[in-house]
Amino acid sequence: EQILVSNQQAYFAAAERVEAGDTIVLANGTWRDFELVITGKGRKNAPITVRAEESGKVIFSGQSSLRVGGTYIVVKGLVFRDGYSPRGEVVSFRRSKKDQARNSRMTEIVIDGFSKPDRYESDYWVGLYGSNNRFDHNHLVGKTNKGVTLAVRLDSEESRDNNHRIDHNYFGPRPVLGSNGGETLRIGTSKYSMFTSRTVVENNIFDRCDGEVEIISSKSGANVFRGNLFLRSRGTLTLRHGDDNLVERNVFLGYGKDYTGGIRVINRNQTVRGNYMEGLRGTAFSSALAVMNGVPNSPVNRYVEVSGARIESNTIIDSRRVAFNVGADEERSAAPSDSTFANNLLGGVEGESFLEVYDDISGITFDGNRVLQGGVDDALSGLEAAPTAMERADNGLLYPVDQELSSLGAPRDLMPVKLEEVGVAWYPKPGAGSPFGTSGTVTQVEPGEGTLVTALVAAKAGDVLMLAPGEYIVDRTIPIDKPVTLKAVAADESEESVVLFARPSLFELREGADLQLIGITIDGALAPDSVGNSAIRTTTFPIQSNMQIELDGVTVRNLSVNKSFNVLTLGKSTLADRVSIRNSSFADISGAVVSAAAETEDFGQYNVEYLDIAQSSFSNIGGPIATIYRGGRDESTFGPYVAIANNALANVGKAPTNGSGAAIHLHGVQTARVARNALAESAPLRVVHTVGTPVTAVIGNSFAQTPAPVLEELIFEGAPRVDLEGNTLDGELIP
Amino acid sequence: EQILVSNQQAYFAAAERVEAGDTIVLANGTWRDFELVITGKGRKNAPITVRAEESGKVIFSGQSSLRVGGTYIVVKGLVFRDGYSPRGEVVSFRRSKKDQARNSRMTEIVIDGFSKPDRYESDYWVGLYGSNNRFDHNHLVGKTNKGVTLAVRLDSEESRDNNHRIDHNYFGPRPVLGSNGGETLRIGTSKYSMFTSRTVVENNIFDRCDGEVEIISSKSGANVFRGNLFLRSRGTLTLRHGDDNLVERNVFLGYGKDYTGGIRVINRNQTVRGNYMEGLRGTAFSSALAVMNGVPNSPVNRYVEVSGARIESNTIIDSRRVAFNVGADEERSAAPSDSTFANNLLGGVEGESFLEVYDDISGITFDGNRVLQGGVDDALSGLEAAPTAMERADNGLLYPVDQELSSLGAPRDLMPVKLEEVGVAWYPKPGAGSPFGTSGTVTQVEPGEGTLVTALVAAKAGDVLMLAPGEYIVDRTIPIDKPVTLKAVAADESEESVVLFARPSLFELREGADLQLIGITIDGALAPDSVGNSAIRTTTFPIQSNMQIELDGVTVRNLSVNKSFNVLTLGKSTLADRVSIRNSSFADISGAVVSAAAETEDFGQYNVEYLDIAQSSFSNIGGPIATIYRGGRDESTFGPYVAIANNALANVGKAPTNGSGAAIHLHGVQTARVARNALAESAPLRVVHTVGTPVTAVIGNSFAQTPAPVLEELIFEGAPRVDLEGNTLDGELIP
Ligand SMILES: [Ca+2]
Ligand SMILES: [Ca+2]
């Protein structure tokens, strides 16, 4: 029987009496606040089906979800967007704890931005329970809140040895979360990792899955990861807990993007063979290949030692790191044993260290590997290293020209899965690129009262507003909820386009905002005396989208009507992918220039991923030019990343209200480069390291009538791990 | 000419050509996002009028505002609600800096809850500029965001000596703001306080204006405050800056409410005469009458010494304090001079100190005063003190029965202004009372999966849900956006109504929430392991309304799946008027019981006004049972107020994740009473004083295998100002 339903009441009536072989057809249209539940006893050749009248034309919006229980049930063709699940999952292979799905399938489901409004309120988009279920040809894009995109749960007996199949899905861009909980796929948890899952993950594409350090976290045994393509995705496929997993014929293409990684190996009897990796830039835990040290007799939630690993016939090329005994320390003292590393083709970056060893590798048998280029640790000097000509084959991958080497590296018949083979044909896969200037519309704005407000309210996403020279008086805080560019038009240097604002803030960044300012002047002379003023700030509502903020050739001055007037303040539950300040000038500001320090709960969260300040001048700034805070002991994020170079700072950070006591304050920043800045009569640079292996370089700076840098380690015992080179203090080289 | 307009375009066309004597009539209906501007040259007998077709039937909603420039303009009968102003003011007596209103009037305007969504984003509701303007018979209720309700500005020459008249307005309830910036009326600022304003404020009612310590802040000279009625309003009429002000024939009725005050006198030649005060409970700065010490040669923004004050013929009865030389310290060393205090009738609270003196009062001439009851400072022993029979006259005020005393105190012909004489007749004035159980609807709820969610979604404001014994399984976080009561029905003690929840939180408090839990059990056994879990928490969106949260006879247990699982978490930009926990029991909780510590920016903001924990038991609690944070140096709030009494604490506060290291952590609390609690094997009580004159009593507690209380002063130099009495440490009395 085929039953067409067009409202929720009709659906639930139909679902009540549905039998094996029946199909419920959801009428085209938007179904708002629909928590669909289907259960029942289908049969192998007579499943129960729930499908869209036409795939892609049935939209679930508002507070909606999908739960499947029973056996042999198929759900097809739904789109979830413009809302979020009120539950812990958007789609779930169980109706309740007691009614888990078996032999069921979800296919051609789209979940697009169906994220909880607060980025730190967690859920799964997909929960896989029960056994023998298939999740295929689905399209999952833009999860912005915390929690794994797809979780396979083993928390009940009937969901172990599950033989689930996850295939031909498009896992589209997942932006940086700025916290733990940004994995795209997780199978199991440490608590149940002694059980086998037997889940097959194959022929999926992971495109820009940048949520956190783990793209896939395998936390159970006997899973298979085969034929997947990882495109420009930060992080790794991690065999975190559980034994006997197989990782074969996957392709990782990093295209030189930061933090792109490959496979991280932990536990027993893992097989990694026939994989291809190119253009990966991760190191340490995010290396193209990382074989970890373990904890002797490790509890399940720590690091089980590697033994019986088979790592064979992989190609790793143009990648920054392959590393053994990663994580070796007093606790993780157990080196790999009974393992082989054979017939791999290994190419690093010319002139850089590539193959690294951090402890004993006598438990690994090396055989038949070839190193094409890149530095090799002495412990691996037995490996054959020689330049080798490579050519790109029809499948788009590189192979040695020399036929004698054809038995090395990834197989010739490897065929990366194509975008058109995954997800659905009827829903577009997202493109990329800068958000600015995309509309092609350039609008002239004249000086005066209210002209800028009018122009910005009328602007569309990607518009550019050209501000003629003169004064722009702004009597309200202008909400920014789209990418927009403000650019000064100046015939010569004497002409300014000056924006004066009469409220505590000029711009309020909201959901969807990106802001680019070029050449304009922001003057705080008309701002009221109100605690917490900030020329640019985020709304106090949480923001799902990651923002980009660029200031180029901008002048900011006279933010001094009260004691803590900032230039840019990023608030709680917001994350900027990038804040970039170049060729700009800041003077007479009582607060901070960039305040990204609102996540004070020490949960490992933070407010900016990349901060880049260059070729700019700062004078008479009461607070720091940058204060970045990431507290706590979590190690799941790559950021924050901070580069501050070639700037001049005079009288910065010395206001009594500057709680950090610093001119630049970096707390828990993972990668920092502070280079060739000139600080005069300022508070010190202050760097505080928390967890992990932060990389900090302080190079070629001059400090005049300014204290020496203050460097602190909160957890690591030993001298601060900072590369200090060529800095001078009142003209004397700092040793 | 009379022009009826029914849309914005028609309005602006009409406004363009309006002339003296014309009236623009706004058609009945809702005008959304309407920023009305009117200017022009009316004449005394031919004003330009903008009015509602029918008063009260023209609603301005969304992002709306009103600006009046020009001369002789009248605006009448508008209602602002369901929105907020996009500008710095809702209604303003200027069109722009250059076009300020003169001889103009706003009357019968209602502004009801037209507050910016974030309580810390400031604005004025009414801005008075220019000269000779009248603001009368308006109704202003429920400002929840920061910023003065009505500000008279003197920041231009044409707005000084303005002769504005503010009369017959209803200033309705303004809830506690939890920050500076909650004044109801301010005239001038310190910057312009050397100028005279000559504003008359008369026959207004201030009903429950509880925003902060100042109800009215007079910061200019030659103002008149006459015939106003202050009802149950916290704080005082403060003559903060400026000289030659007259305060006469006002009535202050506190009805015994906390922090109700009268008049605070600073500066030169202030006259305070014929006022009536009854039932006021404020002390110090909020006394019924406080005469301050000044700073010698004070700058305008500090405290100018009192000289030439005339304080005569006032009645102060059943009030806690009349104080002289208030604020005397090293800086404020200048006592009042050349002043008189005569013919006042003064009645304190029997058995309590009442008339107090903190420095030299030789500069005040006392004459003809009579003290009815209450303690009198030795320095005032010359005052005649004798019990005096009083009777209530027809005007509702108390007068001496003895006719010989008829020349003392407030005049017989004083007639408090009535509610029906202020504001408008066509818009109701708000009532009072508890938000709980008001609807009269009581609904039975049965145990099971989802039953509680269904019942709560269906509930209306003020409903009571009766939970039958059994287990309630909740699969989502339940939003609470209205007052609601959950009450367990139990035949005997063995029966429990247990709520188990499968999400990081059970209840999310949103705009409009009040929550009362009676007798139910909350069990965290099903909650997921997610950082920042909290059984009850506020939404991450800001909340305008102040909440009430009551737990009575509640059991909370097993909040332990991760390291920081709280019972109640109040987040940024939210304020609970009251959190009350009684007869309840808490066990096995990894985080805090009440966390009200989200305002970490040290702007003097905080999350709970009254916290009351009594007759409850706490065992195995990782965090503190209460952590309250109010940082910074601002002195504009009465709260937080904390009372913790008769509780038993065992193994509380000792988790390594408890950042405060305390079992009870009070930072910047203004009034605290910690009494008769038994603490065993717990972390210490920790009290940190910041600004002002905090009142802390730690009385009759026993500490067993628990460190002694940790008491700290951040600013005050000297021993911690804590009343420590009758506490024992392992059985020994703490000295
Ligand atoms: Ca993780
Ligand atoms: Ca104040």
Pick the ligand that lies closest to the CA of residue A190. 1
| Residue limits of CATH 2.160.20.10 in chain A | 1-228, 237-416
Look at residue B165 in the predicted model and tell me its pLDDT.
98
* Cross-chain Cβ contact B88/A502 below 8 Å: yes
Q: Which residues does chain A have with pLDDT short of 70? A: none
Inform me whether the C-beta atom of residue A530 falls under 8 Å from chain B C-beta atoms: yes
| pLDDT tens column, B573-610 | 899 999 999 999 999 999 999 999 999 888 889 999 99
With 0-12 / 13-18 / 19 or more C-beta atoms within 10 angstroms meaning exposed / middle / buried, residue B372 is buried
| pLDDT tens column, B221-277 | 999 999 999 999 999 999 999 999 999 999 999 999 999 999 999 999 999 999 999
Q: Does the structure show a pLDDT above 90 at B541? A: no
Mean pLDDT of chain B: 95
With 0-12 / 13-18 / 19 or more C-beta atoms within 10 angstroms meaning exposed / middle / buried, residue B469 is middle
Q: Considering only the top CATH level, what class is A237-416? A: mainly beta
**C-alpha to C-alpha distances, A264 to A40, A115, A284, A287, A442, nearest whole angstrom:** 41, 29, 10, 8, 48
* A1-228: CATH superfamily: Single-stranded right-handed beta-helix, Pectin lyase-like (2.160.20.10)
Would you tell me which residues 560-599 of chain B have a C-beta closer than 8 angstroms to some C-beta of chain A?
A: 572-573
* Cross-chain Cβ contact A476/B503 below 8 Å: no
Cβ distance A205 to A424 under 8 Å? no
* Cross-chain Cβ contact B88/A572 below 8 Å: no
Residue B645 to residue A511: CA distance in whole angstroms: 45
User: Which chain A positions have a beta carbon within 8 Å of B542's beta carbon?
Assistant: 540-541
| pLDDT tens column, A249-281 | 999 999 999 999 999 999 999 999 999 999 999
Residue B431 pLDDT level (bands cut at 50, 70, 90): confident
Cα distance from B121 to chain A (closest Cα, Å)? 8
Look at residue B177 in the predicted model and tell me its pLDDT.
92
Look at residue A510 in the predicted model and tell me its pLDDT.
95
Residue B51 pLDDT level (bands cut at 50, 70, 90): very high
The alpha carbons of chain A give a radius of gyration, in whole angstroms, of: 28
Would you tell me which residues 76-105 of chain A have a C-beta closer than 8 angstroms to some C-beta of chain B?
A: 86-88, 96
SS3 B17: helix
User: Which chain A positions have a beta carbon within 8 Å of B121's beta carbon?
Assistant: 477, 504, 540
Cα distance from A88 to chain B (closest Cα, Å)? 7
**Using CB atoms, which residue from A476, A602, A603 is nearest to B87?**
A476
Instruction: Specify the DSSP element, H or E, that contains A9.
Output: helix A8-17
* Cross-chain Cβ contact B601/A542 below 8 Å: no
Two tokens at A145?
């809140």
Look at residue B493 in the predicted model and tell me its pLDDT.
78
| pLDDT tens column, B279-301 | 999 999 999 999 999 999 998 88
According to DSSP, residue A72 is labeled: S
Residues in contact with B376: Cβ distance below 8 Å, sequence separation at least 6, in sequence order: B354, B355, B383, B385
Cβ distance A559 to A533 under 8 Å? yes
Q: How far is the CA of A215 from the centre of ligand 1 (A)?
A: 9
* Cross-chain Cβ contact A122/B530 below 8 Å: yes
Pick the ligand that lies closest to the CA of residue B217. 2
Inform me whether the C-beta atom of residue B451 falls under 8 Å from chain A C-beta atoms: no
Please give the ipTM for the structure prediction: 0.75
Look at residue A530 in the predicted model and tell me its pLDDT.
83
User: Which chain B positions have a beta carbon within 8 Å of A118's beta carbon?
Assistant: 539-540
Residue B535 to residue B539: CA distance in whole angstroms: 12
Maximum Cα–Cα distance across chain B: 87
Pick the ligand that lies closest to the CA of residue A177. 1
Phi-psi region of B405 (alpha: psi -120 to 50; beta: other; left: phi over 0): alpha
Q: How far is the CA of A466 from the centre of ligand 1 (A)?
A: 44
CATH number of B234-410: 2.160.20.10
Cα distance from B598 to chain A (closest Cα, Å)? 9
Percentage of chain B lying above the pLDDT 70 cut: 100
* Cross-chain Cβ contact B504/A121 below 8 Å: yes
Inform me whether the C-beta atom of residue A510 falls under 8 Å from chain B C-beta atoms: no
Mutate to test the interface with A, among B12, B145, B453, B475 (most CBs of A within 10 A): B475
Would you tell me which residues 121-180 of chain A have a C-beta closer than 8 angstroms to some C-beta of chain B?
A: 121-122, 146, 180
Cβ distance B647 to B614 under 8 Å? yes
Look at residue B635 in the predicted model and tell me its pLDDT.
85
* Cross-chain Cβ contact B476/A532 below 8 Å: no
Inform me whether the C-beta atom of residue A296 falls under 8 Å from chain B C-beta atoms: no
Strand B185-187 versus strand A507-509 pairing type: unpaired
Cα distance from B350 to chain A (closest Cα, Å)? 43
- The identity of residue B618, as a single letter, is F
Instruction: Specify the DSSP element, H or E, that contains B73.
Output: strand B73-76
Q: Considering only the top CATH level, what class is A442-733? A: mainly beta
Strand A94-96 versus strand A99-100 pairing type: antiparallel
SS3 B607: coil
- Comparing alpha-carbon positions, the chain A residue that sits nearest to B123 is A503
**Using CB atoms, which residue from B449, B530, B542 is nearest to A96?**
B449
- Comparing alpha-carbon positions, the chain A residue that sits nearest to B527 is A88
Residue B490 pLDDT level (bands cut at 50, 70, 90): confident
Look at residue B153 in the predicted model and tell me its pLDDT.
96
User: Which chain B positions have a beta carbon within 8 Å of A601's beta carbon?
Assistant: 532
User: Is the dihedral angle over the CA atoms B644, B647, B649, B655 positive or is it negative?
Assistant: negative
Residue A184 to residue A150: CA distance in whole angstroms: 6
**Using CB atoms, which residue from A88, A477, A603 is nearest to B531?**
A603
Cα distance from B147 to chain A (closest Cα, Å)? 9
| pLDDT tens column, B365-398 | 999 999 999 999 999 988 999 988 999 999 999 9
Inform me whether the C-beta atom of residue B633 falls under 8 Å from chain A C-beta atoms: no
| pLDDT tens column, B291-337 | 999 999 998 889 999 999 999 999 999 999 999 999 999 999 999 99
Cα distance from A233 to chain B (closest Cα, Å)? 25
Look at residue B256 in the predicted model and tell me its pLDDT.
93
Residue B671 to residue B420: CA distance in whole angstroms: 37
Closest CA to B585 of B613, B554, B559: B554
User: Which chain A positions have a beta carbon within 8 Å of B120's beta carbon?
Assistant: 532, 540
* Cross-chain Cβ contact A541/B180 below 8 Å: no
Would you tell me which residues 377-406 of chain A have a C-beta closer than 8 angstroms to some C-beta of chain B?
A: none
